[in-house]
Structure 1
Amino acid sequence: MFDVGFWEVMLILIMGLLFLGPEKMPKIASQLGRWVGKARRTATQLRYQLEREVGSHVEKPPIYTPPPRTATYTPPAGPQKNQQPLDNENKSQEGSENASSENP
């Protein structure tokens, strides 16, 4: 949700320890935990109540299911009619390069 990583949490804890001190840190962490728990419970109750009251009137979108695969690709066996082996292509390219370099 907030995308807070390990180093961000460590930085917050160290800053809290520096500003609050080791005596107040456990009390404040406990209070903060209670507030977070209370906020989560309130959000869950609100979501449940909203779904209960409005949920029957709102249609959920259907879950996408891809169509079944009907055809599979099979590569052709052997060379095609218009294909030349690679050795012939290299020789023909070398010949055309030599011919073009001889005529200035």
Structure 2
Amino acid sequence: MNIHEYKIFLDVCNTKNFSETARNNFITKSAIIQHINKLEQKLGIKLFERTSRGVNLTDAGKALQPLAKGIIEKQSEIIKTMHDYSHTLTIGTIYLEKPILINTVLQKK
């Protein structure tokens, strides 16, 4: 499982709708469904009950929700902590997980 699958999962938890999650992530509804199906397959359990009005969390989905939040929060904490040790300067950009472009430019000079 990767962090992106957990982010998609949490977005579906919040929106309770695959289409809205797709819009939020700038991908298709079928891509969202594929991510959720893949996560459910890896875990071996259904996380959502699909209805004509959207989706609802199963008991397993409810149990996974705080764990997924914790994983994402921990990843952000790791990235921020390691960024403090990287001695890189980020100018005029938003914080990214990998500020590759500016680092490449600075190293060439």
Which protein has the larger Cα radius of gyration, Structure 1 or Structure 2?
A: 1
For Structure 1 versus Structure 2, the TM-score category normalised by the shorter chain is 0.3 to 0.5
Task: Write 1 or 2 for the structure with the bigger share of strand.
Answer: 2
TM-score for both structures, normalised by structure 2: 0.35
Larger RCO (CA within 8 A; separation ≥ 6) = 2
TM-score for both structures, normalised by structure 1: 0.37
